[in-house]
Structure 1
Amino acid sequence: MKILLFLIFAGITFTAFAQKENFDVMSFTPVRDWKMERSDNTVSLTGVNEAKGTFCIITLYKSLNGSTNSKTNFGTAWQKLVQQNFGAGKPKMGAPGKENGWELQSGSAKFEKSGTTGFVTLITATANSKMANMVILTNSDAYTSQINSFVASIELQKKPGTAANTATSPTEQPQNGSVDDLQSNNHSISGVYIFNETMSSPTFYAYTRMALCRGYRFNADGTYNYFNNMYLRGNPKLTFSWETGTYTVNGNQLTIKPLKGQNEEWSKKGEDGSGEEKFFGKRLSITTRKLETVTYTFEKKTLPGDNKTIHLLLKYDKETIRDAGYTYDKNAKLWRYGAYEPDAYHIPPGFKF
């Protein structure tokens, strides 16, 4: 994949003819047919081609207090928004630019995360100790025209007034936040959460001889891994599905955005202590998996009868592809996942969870 043309942010004409949206210090024209999601601190636009396995995610971040130096602000944002989240290396810088008194810096680099590779680009605007950021993540240059059109549609408000003092005491919070706010609150949910039907309902397993285990690993860098394994005694095949992608936490809202995934069938091999064939043999087939972005309401708590295990409760108004039927309270539309690791036989060889 070549370096995309939208890296050159300077010299563009900020003109658009479609209906504009406003966010913080920016206005923009949304990309047609892309999904747009808003939170207090971000706006994200997502385009996905499931048939080809390609995606593009553009995220706008609310302006924050920063340095008066545009290069310093870019470096801080690159470290916290790009390197920490996607492990990208040193950026290839684009030409600097100016817009309504804002100084613009842009850079791009390759990334490889959880089996997904592509390019990530950061554009940082600086004016009077304020900084605003945009991150563009994609694995295909097929989105170049949409990205160029979107970037060209952005209008920045006129240069804000000079901040009297950008330093704050430990007890003071800047009105527009600070560069530390670029760090996400993903730590509030990071960890491994598993739903194991055999463990939760031994009677169901004893009667049906069907066992399923699914779970999430939420990494502190804003990425996630998901798997779903189903075993049926007497069936010569095991089914296994997986996803990788990104997630964000905003208060009690958890948004999961899958970027890559597939459904697989495996042969069985070996026996466990009870004589049942649960282990993976050879992968027999791969089929396309539908990728579904969902924003859940979540809560972490212990449950009656188990005051030691922290459970992740997810709530959404309809059943999802990942979570299937509600596993905790159907009327309340809740799923539950316990904070423990899956057994080794739930994961096929070579899969990193």
Structure 2
Amino acid sequence: MKHIKIFLLFNMIVAISFTSFAQKQTFDVVSYALPKGWQELKNEAGIQLSITDKKNASYAIVVITKATASTASATENFNNDWLKLVKSTVQVNTEPIMQQPTNENGWEVISGGANYADGANTGMATLLTATGGGQMVSVVLMTNTKQHQNELLAFLNSLALTKPAQNEIGNATTTIANQAGKPSVVGLWCDNHLETSGYYNGFPQYTAGYFRREYLFKDDGTYIFRLKNWSTLMKEILFAYESGTYVVQANQLIVIPNQGRGEWWSKKDNNASLWGNRLKASDYKPEKTNYIFEIKYYSGTDSYSLIINPKKNTERDGTYNQNGFSYARSRTGKSIIDNPPGFKTSLENK
């Protein structure tokens, strides 16, 4: 396959259009037009649009991620997703050539691209990131052929973004509270990460595994935390539970456990929804933690996220992330975690 020069895709990067476009579809905060003849694959993390020619081993792929909470700058978001979505997928030996940032409908859009190697093939990868309203979304384009240049151009011209919400709390201006005047953290907050086995053509390959965590903050100042890790790469299931009290002070959320434990369980029939037998206790240790927190509202999805930042690794939340850990408010109040056999809390699936 001939090497694709950078200008082929870069000449197609234009300001995102906000005019009407025939047969436009919407995914999360992004709307777009699906090129004719392309395949579409959706999951919880994003959407992939693709077309391939097996005879010539050529392809063109577009990946649109779901909007996620972010306190990072637009440049940091671009750099992070360049590493995660591009460099972790194909071999890129040069830094991306950047385009001038633009501001579109409340979003700061940054784009850049570089040539890549994918086995014996070479191609061009382009990343666009949009940052605004405490969230970010990315679009990745990868192709090893000139054949679909016009389709990619039409796709880029069809892109549109919902205007991001501006009401945030923490260091921002708008605090959201319930009718009783209690802290806005009251409710059930869930985090469900799906396990991946790597990336193929720029899109994550999901297994049956998952890593789930959730907080239930009650209006009486008590909380319940649970986690369940069911990984295809591990022989056992990890389950952990703790309860205690919490305090909200300005933009701080202080979690104070009074009991808790972790357990390893066997798998049954290698089914991600079944439990085997309790094997042993884990080394999970409940810990008092002071979080910096904020709650963000996303008008495009009419949803809330609780972002908590402990500034360190924690047993509850995992390896420290500079952007904090994001938990989505449950619309139904229904838990995403099933308890092991015989284990009861005040938070059960209904």
- TM-score, structure 1 normalization: 0.49
Structure number with higher helix proportion: 1
- TM-score, structure 2 normalization: 0.49
